[in-house]
Amino acid sequence: MTTHGPVLPIWSCGGCDLPWPCPTRRRELRAEYADAPVSLALYLGGYLVQAAEDMPWAPAGALHRRFVGWTRQPPAVQQRSTATVPAEPGREARQSAGRMTSHRTRPDPLAGNP
């Protein structure tokens, strides 16, 4: 049994006083539900509903991230990605790509060409 349970109605951790689920409880839950990630999300979804009732002032998005959002991240990745989007190809690349494609023109059926 963990000491890192929620203290209601403020939803802090009984073991470390951080917002629940705290990092320790998250690790425990990941281990407990290692083969059942959907069940983990459903389990925490129930707590999310209770927390939303207890803390109506809290933004819904913040509560979702706190209770359920972290379950979709791999265990080693607990922060936002810093990946960048590749730059748009330069003008030369777009022009050379345009030359590689062949464009066929269709006869206009309304032009009267036989």
Q: Any idea what DSSP says for residue 28?
A: H
Cβ(6)–Cβ(14) below 8 Å: yes
pLDDT tens profile 87-102: 555 556 555 555 554 4
pLDDT tens profile 33-83: 999 999 999 999 999 999 999 999 999 999 999 999 999 877 655 555 455
Largest CA distance in the chain: 86
pLDDT-derived band at 110, boundaries 50, 70, 90 = low
pTM equals: 0.62
pLDDT-derived band at 114, boundaries 50, 70, 90 = low
Cβ(6)–Cβ(47) below 8 Å: yes
Helices H / strands E in the chain, number of each: 4, 2
Q: How many whole angstroms separate alpha carbon 45 and alpha carbon 68?
A: 6
